[in-house]
Structure 1
Amino acid sequence: MATADTGTLVPAIGVRLIATTDLHFHVWPYDYATDRPAPAVGLAAAAETIAALRAEAPATLLFDNGDLLQGSALSDRVRADWEPGQGPHPLISAMNALGYDAATIGNHDLNFGLRYLRDALADAAFPVVSANLVHRRDGGWETLLPPTALLRRTVSDGEGGEVPLTIGIVGMLPAPSASWDRLVLGRDVETPDIVAAVAAVLPGLLAQKPDIVVALCHSGLMDGGEPGENAATAVAALDGIDVVVGGHTHEVFPGPAVPEGRLHGKPAVIAGSHGRQIGVVDLRLTRIGDRWRPIDAAVRTEPVSPVPDAGDAPEWDALRPYHARVLADVRRPLARLTAPLSTRFAMIGAAPAGQLLGRALRDHAAARLAGRPEAQLPILAATAPLMAGGRSGPQNYIDLPAGPITRGFVGQVYPFPNPVCLLRLTMRDVRDWLERTALAFRRIGTGPPGPLLTDAPPYLFDTIWGLRYAIDVTAPDGDRIRDLRLEDGTVLPGTAQVVVAVNSHRASGAGGYEAASRGTLLDISPTTLQQIFGDWLARKDRVTPDATPIWDFAPAPGRAAWIDTAPCPVGHVPDIPNRRLRESGEGSEGFCRIVIDL
């Protein structure tokens, strides 16, 4: 029971909100890239945890917060093989069976284009909302999906009766989303500012007098993103929003810094990624006037437990043939590594996986430009390490022995279905590109060693192959690149032109790489980067990964910093050219701490 302002006792009811986010089409608890089980990952395992959470509470609602349809080898296979005439989209069909109440979309749900998105969502038995995905129509702009939804449910009053409850839902995705997929979406789709879009539709939703309003906000808390990318905190500040379900950044919230799970005093939750956690918001509501209003909330993320028979239930039957095809595909041999390959030190330049991909991209560019004047320009390639630690933890690395590699390796290096763009840029643009890369490092002063890396994820750390350069981590941001030259030692003026091969996402300027968006687009590959890389490896048959850094830290005598990486055998620090490393013991959250003398 709760006490009203008059001091009289009024009834209180409880409602549990359950949320998944950033599933990225992870269904079975299986890692296709490494071809081995991944316990406690994926929607099939999460479904068991969801069922247990539902059984504990008399009234529950289940939401998904976007980045659902893309992000795994399974998503790529379904996209290639599924047609609407075959029946409902197999993942949406499974979500219908699980009883989802509402969802929004994320930026990666746009990767396959609007037609695929519409076809996939056509048979959803739950509303899918987005306030800031708009398309051009009849000379104006209108939302592609309903911006809001109103759910009407009946819940127990705890005393043997039932009461009606109305839940308003509003959805949103990062403002740069349309620009990130401009090559796929064209100019007739935009994703305007989150806060402005939500503020515009809230009055209409509130006019329907919902008891509570839940923001399905595919956007995070982190600093360092692009303008308009991470706006969950700003959304929580809007009058009329009662609960925020966040996502996009794959972070987990509440966390050690904010254990109570509040943004501007309102309950908020972000449940990581890939179905490893489930977001839980337990609301307690009391009657105030003619509405049930929140008076208290408990927020947490629930880790998903391993489930031995995950995926055996009938709701996964439609996906099972695709799963079998993916397993056959990722087990297909491609080539042999003549030496071990590890990404443990990719963030300090020892990036053998990136080196192989860079070679493949440069060969691709040379072939595509053959016979064109641009073929005479220096050809470079930009790559970033996706599996190099970061917030995904000490298991987020590639570690392979010498020997055969399969197609699963391609998915480890680059899991997205983007084409390759060839850009003509100036060396001044290239320098600016590298200055953006150098933001991954903190400014290092004198004194005891501190952390070298910022909180930026590894996928924002580009290496441009075909160059040599140094990064001065003692210098201010924007003035860190030193001794920039081609790999043969040639120093070019800032006006000199070069060609850079890069995935289409980065070519759009995504990740704050505005310099990339200045380039003149020379070519777009007819196939994906994954296909190009896999075919290149197959043609080579035997490849030698090289962990020698192509860039150096500018000398800074007397200064040192540390990085956290995957655990190494005690007393064994690898010998990386031009890097003076020493072990410093155990780092945070299972990482191994290595000190770098600059």
Structure 2
Amino acid sequence: MTRTTGNTLNRRHFMAGSISGASLIALHPFTANAASNQAHLRIMETTDLHVHVHPYDYYSDRPVDTVGLARTASHIRTIRAEAANSLLLDNGDFLQGNPMGDYIAYERGMKEGDMHPVITAMNAVGFDATTLGNHEFNYGLDFLMKSLAGANFPVLSANVVKEAAASATKDVTLVKPYVLLDRELTDGSGTKHRIKIGLIGFVPPQIMSWDRRHLEGNVIARDIVATAKAYVPQMKEEGADIIIALSHSGIGSAKMTDMMENASVPLAQIDGIDAILTGHSHLPFPGPAFKDMAGVDAEKGTIHGKPAVMGGFWGSHLGVIDLMLTYEGGEWRVLGHESALRPISKRNEDRSITALVDSDAEVLASVQKEHDETLAYVRRAVGKTDTPLHSYFALVADDPSVQIVSIAQKWYIEQMLKGTEHEGLPILSAAAPFKAGGRGGPEYYTDVPVGDVAIKNVADLYLYPNTARAVRITGKQLKGWLERSAGMFNQIEAGKPDQILLNPSFPSYNFDVIDGVQYQIDLTQPSRFAPKGELVDEAATRIVNLTYNGQPVTDEMEFIVATNNYRAGGGGSFPGAMGDTVVFEAPDTNRDVIVRYIVEQGTISPQADANWTFAPMPGTSVLFDTGPKAADYADKVPGVTIEPVGEQPDGFARFRIQL
């Protein structure tokens, strides 16, 4: 196995903030208290960077304080100065995930010798190694390998195989499965000792489904735990003193199953692995998200007693594992350990954000050119729309801004479920309006005119960085889901004019419209659910005439519903979407899905098809408030007659619907 050598752990110019020059920085107790033959090794982790180098949200086209390797780099400088020995590792998903990644892949491209900007930034920071994440494969193998060619550090993945053998250790892998770093550690007395640090990388085997079109016939993916069991003894035989697993895999079940996506807990049980770097789930560890999980100590940051971290995502945190090592009888062993996180920002009680570190100027400068090019990219069209994409009437009628989200989600999930046991089931799509006035005020609406659609417009269509999900539900659950959404409306008395339609305590993001079926909402009936999802009247039925392809939906029918991780995981408490019906967890954000759909279509035509309407109520009218610009579109809403009533004191405009 090829070995990467170096004089000391602190070997690149970025690491110039050495201990001798950092008198104002307190040493970590492991370094301050290390005895002769004891050495403090500080392991730093970034994970799921997703091309976030500058602290900038390209979708909303504004600076932000919550993301960016340039911010994390400031922590890295400080942390290196706090320890005698340090190692900086990345845990994958660095190549794709924001418009800069798409710009490089779809616009500029990668030729032999080109430098990918995230690799340039990682070189500037001085990473010692990384592993492949699942998103590294999104643009294809040719793009991936050209991008990796510029890395000044090893890129690892033990379970992605080009040529499979009877034994995993005989496989021909796409990149190096592992590496042994020959390094020097300085102990408490100042004496230097040689050490071989073994690093091995893993990626979810689900890449074969997520990126089938790029990978099928070119590589295979092996089980993470089985691969580790094969390679770790070999690494020990080759002289690895300690082994760190770069597990681009979440912290999930402690029960081992074949081809687990989130395999870090059983992985930690393998003899010979001393520390686990995790990722993929976009959650900080140590942290409360993992409380009470088997084998996991969410406060101490251990998995089966071994130190572990997950450094958030997009550069939001730096994960830090401190190892106190002792050298006895010619062998290194772990004497003690700590796990912690260094966030780059904090959220205040008033929901404002305070930056905790400044950006590192060297890292910003390393990709300034590509940053500027990406800004030009997000500000220009990636497609066109022949229909205005506005949300002024999204709460009272089928709506184009919700329609485009539904169409894109359905298009994506259809591709993802091909070849699975769920292929062939009817695929529906659930989407809700996000910008729909309310507390956001009379200007808080989506409004993209006919013509060019820029990437930053997608942020107007989809505000949140959710990831796509698919659930498998029954017709009974489908009806319950729609009943939950129908809580948006007040109960209306038949034959009475000008009643207020919308319940102000019901948030618009919980008003799911489900595309692919047809239904009516009977406003004379009480709501089955309270605004927060509590069941208040099990017999209440507002959803009537629910059909699929012209036939009534029965309780026993089965459907796939494309949605997002928030809803599928129980967000909003919707029947059929409580976390137990998920059949597909996508690696892509809903925003990315929408962008890809627009790019592929060229021109989109998300005509609202009035698949849902209010049940007729002769002699009855209702009132609702929306943005004043809604007047431009009031006579073009399908399935409903809307007329203006007048301006309101709070800046909203009031409209009437004749039911």
Sort the TM-score into its range (normalised by shorter chain).
0.5 to 0.7
1:51 Cα deviation after fit: 1.2
Q: Which residue of structure 1 aligns with residue 64 of structure 2?
A: 38
Cα deviation digits, residues 236-284 of structure 1 (max 9, x gap): 1100000000000011111143210111111010111000000001110
| One-letter identity of the residue aligned with 1:217 | S
Q: Note the residue ranges of structure 2 that are not aligned, 5 or more in a row.
A: 1-28, 30-34, 292-297, 346-354, 414-423, 436-442, 482-510, 522-527, 536-542, 565-579, 587-592, 615-659
Structure 1 residues 101 and 200: alpha-carbon distance in aligned structure 2, compared to 1, 3 A threshold: same
Q: Note the residue ranges of structure 1 that are not aligned, 5 or more in a row.
A: 3-8, 366-376, 389-398, 421-428, 440-460, 476-481, 504-510, 518-524, 551-598
1:512 Cα deviation after fit: 8.1
Please, which of 122, 137, 143 is the counterpart of residue 173 of structure 2? 143
Corresponding residue SS for 1:85: coil
| One-letter identity of the residue aligned with 1:293 | R
Aligned residues of 1:361 and 1:381 also touching (Cα < 8 A): no
| One-letter identity of the residue aligned with 2:270 | L
Query: Is 1:79 paired with 2:105?
Result: yes
| One-letter identity of the residue aligned with 1:535 | T
Question: What CA distance in whole angstroms lies between the structure 2 residues aligned with 1:535 and 1:31?
Answer: 25
Q: Which residue of structure 1 aligns with residue 429 of structure 2?
A: 382
Q: Which residue of structure 1 aligns with residue 599 of structure 2?
A: 531
Corresponding residue SS for 1:220: coil
Please, which of 277, 283, 290 is the counterpart of residue 245 of structure 1? 277
Cα deviation digits, residues 281-312 of structure 1 (max 9, x gap): 11100113222111101110101253887364
1:83 Cα deviation after fit: 2.2
Corresponding residue SS for 1:175: coil
Query: Is 1:128 paired with 2:155?
Result: yes
Query: Is 1:91 paired with 2:118?
Result: yes
Structure 1 residues 238 and 400: alpha-carbon distance in aligned structure 2, compared to 1, 3 A threshold: farther
Question: What CA distance in whole angstroms lies between the structure 2 residues aligned with 1:227 and 1:138?
Answer: 18
Structure 1 residues 382 and 254: alpha-carbon distance in aligned structure 2, compared to 1, 3 A threshold: same
Query: Is 1:116 paired with 2:122?
Result: no
Question: What CA distance in whole angstroms lies between the structure 2 residues aligned with 1:219 and 1:433?
Answer: 34
Please, which of 23, 28, 46 is the counterpart of residue 49 of structure 2? 23
Question: What CA distance in whole angstroms lies between the structure 2 residues aligned with 1:107 and 1:237?
Answer: 23
1:35 Cα deviation after fit: 1.3
Corresponding residue SS for 1:184: helix
Cα deviation digits, residues 95-136 of structure 1 (max 9, x gap): 122110011011111111111111111121111111111124
Cα deviation digits, residues 78-109 of structure 1 (max 9, x gap): 11213233533232122122110011011111
Question: What CA distance in whole angstroms lies between the structure 1 residues aligned with 2:479 and 2:195?
Answer: 49
Q: Which residue of structure 2 aligns with residue 593 of structure 1?
A: none
Query: Is 1:197 paired with 2:245?
Result: no
Structure 1 residues 163 and 462: alpha-carbon distance in aligned structure 2, compared to 1, 3 A threshold: farther
How does the TM-score come out when normalised to structure 1? 0.65
Structure 1 residues 237 and 137: alpha-carbon distance in aligned structure 2, compared to 1, 3 A threshold: closer
1:488 Cα deviation after fit: 7.5
Query: Is 1:407 paired with 2:447?
Result: no
1:319 Cα deviation after fit: 2.9
Question: What CA distance in whole angstroms lies between the structure 2 residues aligned with 1:91 and 1:361?
Answer: 28
Structure 1 residues 290 and 545: alpha-carbon distance in aligned structure 2, compared to 1, 3 A threshold: farther
Query: Is 1:323 paired with 2:371?
Result: yes
Number of aligned residues: 463
| One-letter identity of the residue aligned with 1:296 | G
Aligned residues of 1:110 and 1:117 also touching (Cα < 8 A): yes
1:62 Cα deviation after fit: 0.3
Aligned counterparts, 1:497-508, within 5 A: none
Question: What CA distance in whole angstroms lies between the structure 2 residues aligned with 1:133 and 1:249?
Answer: 20
1:40 Cα deviation after fit: 3.6
| One-letter identity of the residue aligned with 1:185 | L
Please, which of 267, 279, 283 is the counterpart of residue 307 of structure 2? 267
| One-letter identity of the residue aligned with 1:298 | E
How does the TM-score come out when normalised to structure 2? 0.59
Aligned residues of 1:133 and 1:144 also touching (Cα < 8 A): yes
Aligned residues of 2:475 and 2:558 also touching (Cα < 8 A): no
Aligned residues of 1:62 and 1:100 also touching (Cα < 8 A): yes
Aligned residues of 2:472 and 2:582 also touching (Cα < 8 A): no
Structure 1 residues 270 and 535: alpha-carbon distance in aligned structure 2, compared to 1, 3 A threshold: same
Q: Whose radius of gyration is greater, 1 or 2? A: 2
Question: What CA distance in whole angstroms lies between the structure 2 residues aligned with 1:204 and 1:483?
Answer: 64
Structure 1 residues 498 and 267: alpha-carbon distance in aligned structure 2, compared to 1, 3 A threshold: closer
Two-structure CA RMSD over aligned residues (Å): 5.1
Aligned residues of 1:226 and 1:512 also touching (Cα < 8 A): no
Please, which of 73, 89, 95 is the counterpart of residue 69 of structure 1? 95
Question: What CA distance in whole angstroms lies between the structure 1 residues aligned with 2:455 and 2:118?
Answer: 24
Structure 1 residues 62 and 548: alpha-carbon distance in aligned structure 2, compared to 1, 3 A threshold: farther
Structure 1 residues 437 and 177: alpha-carbon distance in aligned structure 2, compared to 1, 3 A threshold: farther
